[in-house]
């Protein structure tokens, strides 16, 4: 979901870019002019001049008598005589003032070219150098005073709100620009109805919620939805981040909250959107990290403004966060943010229109089937899908193609899910063979087990932090995971380690990631999901959704004996699934060798190739309808259990990798 860029018409806290550019050019031109004037004045004083000789009047008369004077100029005002000798050397003579007619006749009689000038001295010419320096000094003083005023203005405006106001040109984003999320748009549509027709609610005595909290993982389009509400309602939209209220000065946050609400009242009806509200809305007095006095004062001011003595009719607050569990209860009570709208990760039906939105301005080949791309991107958010399309475009440019083809989307998905391929990593033949058997063990078990997700791709090319990858994609939308599905997932995780033991009779460090994820999954089965007969219907785990994050510290609310039982049950589950992996791979050892040899030869094979090799090697069909998930047109792959943080809210495709 990529929002269009609305033009910001009125921003009280930022100068327009054109005005700032013009002021910069004025300063540059003034500096250049000032530098030119100073250089001209200095050059006029220090420039080298042709040297002249100074003669007394008697010497001047003697030079006239010897016919050495070329020309002469007499100043009527001062009596000074200047000119040049016939040799070209200029001279200066302090003559009598005034010059008599006999002296003029004596000069001209010797065939000297004589002329007269009258110089006048004015007050302006005498004061011109001083005026110049006064102008320079005044300009410097004015610039320093202007700078000081700007600094004082910045200090005096530090308490003003930094909310960006979109008013004259209303947000052009509407619900049509928000792909998918029909349920979210339906739930929030009554806010639009209230802003358009407040009389309907007032007649019956109903009150619209003052605050709506959008909760969801990063990248799901919470800001876009808030902008779409303002665009649908046709009202001004004030956007601010929670971190904009915090400064080093005490009281600045509360002052900015007051100023923001004052601006909103002037624009009412209006929508105020606060992004990442958890930065200022944390629980007060929460101890470690929660006792910041400035943050608490900012939160108190926001609570007061939302339901204080002054009416705030026509102002709707919309906030976004991915950590609602840490928000202060007073912020969530009725009359404030009393309505929470969960914006989850998009499912299959929503990913396709999101991909279509991001592909509007891209040159897509006709062979690209976005429905297949959508099925192959389970758990991706809107931002992830935008990144996927962009990576596909970059891959097309790298291979000098003018259009984006299906292979570009495949390469982009592999890079997003598995990381950048490490072509510089050189593996020995022995390492390649062990990795091939390791990944072959994962692939064969994923194909053979009925409840395991089918294999999409297997590769022994190093990618990201993995030396090899077995990628699985689920067949259908899953919201509840059965015990059989989880146990088969554990067996697939054990496949690489078991395959190495069957072939090489020893283990390697390549199963590190597999063991970590399997142990975490087994712990969840015992501690959170009640899948242990010895523990029974008891759960100890996080109460929130996976994207809400973990608390800083967990307190264990069970005894040491229970902890020992949990450890024993986790060990039992892992050993049982490892034994299952041994039994299945032992019976399919020929298929394992066939898959490993194919990987050594081709380096990358798909799920259809895996199923064909295993069936040919064993002489029978091991599993029906288990091949490459993207070849099953009727399938709808979605979220997978592979994300070890939480099976019920997994948001990534199944990827088993050997740690590098």
Give per-residue pLDDT as tens, 522-558.
999 999 898 998 988 888 865 444 444 444 445 567 7
Q: Which two tokens stand for residue 329?
A: 């209860």
What confidence category does residue 200 fall into, taking pLDDT thresholds of 50, 70 and 90?
confident
CATH of 53-120, one of 3.90.1300.10, 3.30.720.210, 3.40.1440.10, 3.90.1200.10: 3.30.720.210
- What local confidence, expressed as pLDDT, does residue 283 receive? 75
Q: Which two tokens stand for residue 399?
A: 């291979």
Q: Among 15-19, 74-78, 110-114, where is mean pLDDT lowest?
A: 15-19
Do β-strands 339-342 and 211-215 pair in parallel, antiparallel, or remain unpaired? Answer: parallel
Pick the catalytic residue from 350, 439, 500, 578: 439
Could you read off the pLDDT of 90-125 as tens digits, one per residue? Answer: 888 877 777 777 777 777 777 777 777 776 655 555
What confidence category does residue 221 fall into, taking pLDDT thresholds of 50, 70 and 90?
confident
- What local confidence, expressed as pLDDT, does residue 117 receive? 75
- What local confidence, expressed as pLDDT, does residue 424 receive? 66
Under CATH, to which class is 164-342 assigned?
alpha beta
Query: Would residue 439 show up in a list of annotated catalytic residues for this protein?
Result: yes
- Give CA–CA dist 270/226, Å, rounded: 12
Could you read off the pLDDT of 381-426 as tens digits, one per residue? Answer: 888 888 889 989 998 998 888 899 888 888 888 787 766 667 667 7
CATH of 429-549+556-659, one of 1.20.58.760, 3.30.230.10, 3.50.40.10, 3.90.25.10: 1.20.58.760
Q: Which helix (H) or strand (E) holds 503?
A: helix 483-504
| Helices and strands (H and E) in the chain: how many | 20, 15
- Give CA–CA dist 458/466, Å, rounded: 12
Mean of the per-residue pLDDT values of the chain: 75
Q: For residue 556, give every residue at least 6 positions away whose Cβ sits within 8 Å of its Cβ, in sequence order, or none.
A: 540, 563
Q: Which helix (H) or strand (E) holds 275?
A: strand 270-275
Cα 404 to Cα 1, 384, 395, 501: the distances in Å are 20, 18, 8, 44
What is 21-89 written as a DSSP string? HHHHHHHHHHHHHHHHHHHHHHHHHHS-----EEE-HHHHHHHHHTT-EEEEEEETTT-EEEEEETTS-
- The model's pTM is 0.61
Please check whether residue 193 is in contact with residue 199, taking contact to mean a CB–CB distance below 8 angstroms. Answer: no
What confidence category does residue 55 fall into, taking pLDDT thresholds of 50, 70 and 90?
confident
Q: Among 56-65, 392-401, 633-642, where is mean pLDDT lowest?
A: 633-642
Cα 658 to Cα 24, 552, 565, 598, 605: the distances in Å are 57, 30, 31, 18, 17
Identify which of 124-133, 273-282, 377-386, 569-578 has the greatest average pLDDT: 569-578
Q: Among 12-21, 228-237, 407-416, 639-648, where is mean pLDDT lowest?
A: 639-648
- What local confidence, expressed as pLDDT, does residue 175 receive? 79
Under CATH, to which class is 348-418 assigned?
mainly alpha
Could you read off the pLDDT of 586-603 as tens digits, one per residue? Answer: 999 999 999 999 999 988
């Amino acid at each position: 979901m990529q929002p269009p860029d609305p033009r910001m018409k009125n921003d009280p806290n930022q100068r327009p870019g054109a005005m700032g550019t013009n002021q910069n050019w004025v300063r540059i031109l003034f500096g250049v002019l000032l530098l030119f004037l100073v250089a001209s004045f200095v050059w006029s004083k220090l420039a080298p001049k042709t040297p002249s000789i100074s003669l007394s009047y008697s010497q001047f008369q003697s030079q006239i008598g010897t016919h050495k004077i070329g020309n002469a100029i007499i100043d009527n005002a001062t009596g000074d005589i200047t000119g040049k000798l016939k040799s070209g050397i200029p001279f200066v003579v302090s003559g009598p003032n005034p010059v008599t007619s006999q002296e003029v006749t004596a000069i001209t009689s010797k065939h000297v070219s004589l002329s007269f000038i009258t110089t006048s001295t004015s007050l302006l010419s005498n004061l011109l150098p001083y005026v110049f320096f006064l102008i320079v000094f005044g300009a410097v003083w004015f610039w320093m005073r202007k700078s000081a005023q700007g600094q004082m203005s910045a200090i005096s405006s530090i308490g003003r709100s930094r909310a960006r106001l979109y008013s004259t040109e209303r947000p052009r984003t509407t619900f049509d620009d928000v792909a998918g999320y029909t349920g979210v748009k339906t739930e929030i549509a009554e806010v639009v109805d209230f802003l358009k027709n407040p009389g309907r609610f007032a007649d019956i005595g109903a009150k619209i919620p003052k605050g709506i909290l959008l909760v969801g993982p990063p990248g799901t389009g919470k800001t876009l939805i808030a902008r779409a509400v303002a665009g649908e309602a046709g009202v001004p939209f004030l956007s601010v981040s929670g971190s904009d209220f915090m400064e080093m000065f005490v009281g600045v946050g509360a002052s900015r909250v007051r100023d923001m609400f004052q601006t909103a009242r002037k624009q009412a009806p209006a929508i105020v959107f606060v992004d990442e509200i958890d930065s200022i809305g944390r629980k007060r007095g929460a101890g470690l990290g929660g006792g910041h006095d400035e943050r608490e004062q900012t939160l108190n001011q926001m609570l007061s403004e939302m339901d204080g003595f002054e009416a705030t009719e026509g102002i709707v607050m919309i906030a976004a966060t991915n950590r609602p569990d840490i928000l202060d209860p007073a912020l969530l009570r009725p009359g404030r943010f009393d309505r929470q709208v969960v914006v989850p990760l998009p499912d299959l039906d929503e990913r396709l229109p999101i991909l279509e939105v991001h592909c509007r301005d891209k040159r897509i080949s006709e062979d690209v089937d976005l429905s297949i791309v959508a099925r192959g991107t389970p758990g991706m958010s809107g931002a992830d899908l935008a990144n996927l399309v962009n990576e596909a475009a970059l891959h097309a440019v790298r291979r000098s193609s003018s259009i984006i083809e299906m292979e570009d989307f495949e390469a982009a998905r592999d890079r997003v899910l598995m990381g950048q391929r490490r072509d510089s990593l050189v593996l020995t033949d022995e390492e390649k063979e062990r990795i091939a058997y390791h990944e072959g063990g994962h692939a064969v078990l994923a194909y053979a087990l009925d409840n395991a997700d089918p294999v999409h791709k297997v590769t022994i090319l190093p990618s990201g932090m993995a030396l090899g990858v077995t990628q699985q994609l689920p067949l259908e939308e899953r919201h509840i995971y059965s015990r059989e599905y989880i146990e088969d997932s554990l067996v697939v995780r054990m496949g690489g380690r078991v395959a190495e033991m069957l072939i090489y009779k020893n283990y390697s460090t390549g199963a590190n990631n597999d063991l970590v994820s399997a142990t975490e999954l087994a712990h969840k089965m015992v501690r959170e999901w009640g899948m242990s007969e010895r523990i029974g219907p008891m759960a100890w785990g996080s109460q929130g959704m996976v994207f809400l994050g973990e608390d800083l510290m967990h307190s264990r609310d069970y005894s040491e004996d229970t902890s020992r039982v949990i450890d024993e049950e986790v060990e039992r589950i892992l050993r049982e699934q490892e034994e299952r992996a041994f039994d299945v791979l032992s019976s399919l050892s020929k298929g394992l060798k066939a898959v490993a040899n194919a990987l050594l030869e081709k380096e990358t094979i798909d799920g259809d190739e895996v199923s064909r090799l295993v069936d040919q090697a064993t002489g029978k069909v091991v599993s029906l309808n288990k091949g490459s998930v993207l070849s099953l047109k009727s399938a709808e792959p979605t979220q997978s259990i592979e994300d070890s943080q939480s099976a019920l809210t997994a948001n990534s495709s199944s990827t088993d990798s050997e740690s590098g």
